[in-house]
Amino acid sequence: MKFRRALVATALLAAASLTATACSSGSSPSSAGSPGSSSEKPTGTLNFVNDKSWDFKAFSTVSQADIGIGLNPTTYADQNAFVAFVKQSFRTNKAPGLFTWHTGGQLEELVKQNLVVETTPLWDEAIKQGEVAPSVRDLYTIDGKQYCTPISVDDWVMYYDKKMFAQYDIKPPTTWDEMMQAAATLRSHGIAPFWSSGGNPWAFVWFQILLAGTDLQLYKDLSTGKASYTDPRVVSVMNTWLDMEQKGYFSDPGSKTQPEEQMKSGKLAMIPFGTWYASTMETAGLKNGTDWGVFTIPAVNPAQGKTPVAIETAPACVAAKSEQKDLGLAYSAWWMTAQAQTAWSKQQGNLPFNPQAKASTETFQQVGQELADTNKYETYLRYYEATPTPILTTALDQFTGFMTNPGDPTKYLQGIQDEAQSYWAKN
Give the CATH number for residue 388: 3.40.190.10
Is residue 162, in this structure, part of any structural domain at all?
Answer: yes
Q: Kindly state whether residue 186 falls inside one of the protein's structural domains.
A: yes
Taking a C-beta distance cutoff of 8 angstroms, is the pair 176, 304 a contact? no
Q: Looking at the predicted structure, is the pLDDT value of residue 408 above 70? A: yes
What does the pLDDT read at residue 39? 52
Q: Are 270 and 260 in contact (CB under 8 A)?
A: no
Query: Do both 47 and 193 map to the same domain?
Result: no
> In which band, very low, low, confident or very high, does the pLDDT at 38 lie, cut at 50, 70 and 90?
very low
Q: What is the pLDDT of residue 36?
A: 34
Same domain, 300 and 273: yes
Rounded to 5 degrees, φ, ψ at 77 are: -80, -30
**pLDDT over 80 (residue 13):** no
Determine contact, residues 47/98, Cβ cutoff 8 Å: yes
Q: Give residue 159's pLDDT.
A: 98
Mean pLDDT, residues 83-110 taken together:
89
Instruction: Please report the pLDDT score of residue 11 as a whole number.
Output: 43
Predicted pLDDT of residue 403: 97
- Between residues 27 and 12, the one the model is more confident about: 12
Number of domains in the chain: 2
What does the pLDDT read at residue 199? Answer: 84
The answer on 165 and 29 residing in a single domain is no
Report how far residue 314's alpha carbon sits from residue 193's, in angstroms, rounded to the nearest whole number. Answer: 28
With respect to residue 367, please indicate whether it lies within any of the assigned structural domains.
no
In a domain, 363, yes or no: no
Same domain, 117 and 189: no
Residues 88 and 191 in one domain: no
Residue 232 contacts residue 396 (beta carbons within 8 Å): no
Q: Is the pLDDT of residue 387 over 90?
A: yes
Q: Tell me: do 177 and 58 sit in the same domain.
A: no
**Residue type (1 letter), 123:** W
Per-residue pLDDT of 213-238, as tens digits, reads: 999 999 999 999 999 999 999 999 99
Q: What is the mean pLDDT of residues 67-88?
A: 92
- Statement: residue 114 has pLDDT above 60: yes
Average pLDDT of the chain? Answer: 90
Residues 285 and 197 grouped into a single domain = yes
283 domain-assigned: yes
At residue 32, the pLDDT reads 36
pLDDT value, residue 106: 87
Report the candidate in 165, 193, 207 with the shortest Cα–Cα distance to residue 413.
207
Asked if residue 112 belongs to a domain, the reply is: yes
- 294 and 178 part of one domain: yes
Dihedral sign computed on CA atoms, order 378, 298, 192, 232: positive
Please report the pLDDT score of residue 105 as a whole number. Answer: 84
Taking 70 as the threshold, does the pLDDT of residue 266 lie above it? yes
Shared domain check, 272 and 344? no
Last residue of a domain, one of 356, 382, 410: 356
pLDDT, position 94? 82
Q: Does 243 lie in the same domain as 383?
A: yes
Residue 185: is its pLDDT beyond 60? yes
pLDDT in tens, 142-168: 999 999 999 999 999 999 999 999 999
In this structure, the answer to whether residues 232 and 267 fall within a common structural domain is yes
Q: List, as one string, the DSSP characters of 338-357.
A: HHHHHHHHHHH-S--SSTTS
What confidence tens digit (pLDDT) does each residue in 357-379 have? 999 899 999 998 899 888 999 99
- Banded pLDDT at 41 (limits 50, 70, 90): confident
pLDDT tens for 338-362 read 999 999 999 998 899 998 999 989 9
Percent of the chain residues topping a pLDDT of 90: 79
Query: In the structure, what pLDDT confidence band is assigned to residue 200 with cuts at 50, 70 and 90?
Result: confident
Q: Which pLDDT score is estimated for 135?
A: 84
Closest C-alpha among 329, 336, 337, 315 to residue 22: 329
- Domain range for 386 is 155-311+373-426
Would residue 210 count as lying in a domain? Answer: yes
DSSP string, 15-57: HHHHHHHHS-TTPPPPTT---SSTTSPP-EEEEEEE---S-HH
Percent of the chain residues topping a pLDDT of 70: 91
Residues 213 and 73 in one domain: no
**Is residue 243 included in any domain, yes or no?**
yes
Q: List, for residues 305-317, the tens digit of each pLDDT value.
A: 999 999 999 999 9
In the chain, % helix, strand, coil (3-state, to 5) comes to 45, 15, 35
Please determine, for residue 2, whether its predicted confidence score (pLDDT) is greater than 60.
no
Are 419 and 391 in contact by the 8 Å Cβ rule? The answer is: yes
Q: What is the pLDDT of residue 53?
A: 87
- The CA distances from residue 106 to 139, 158, 305, 382, in Å, are 12, 27, 31, 13
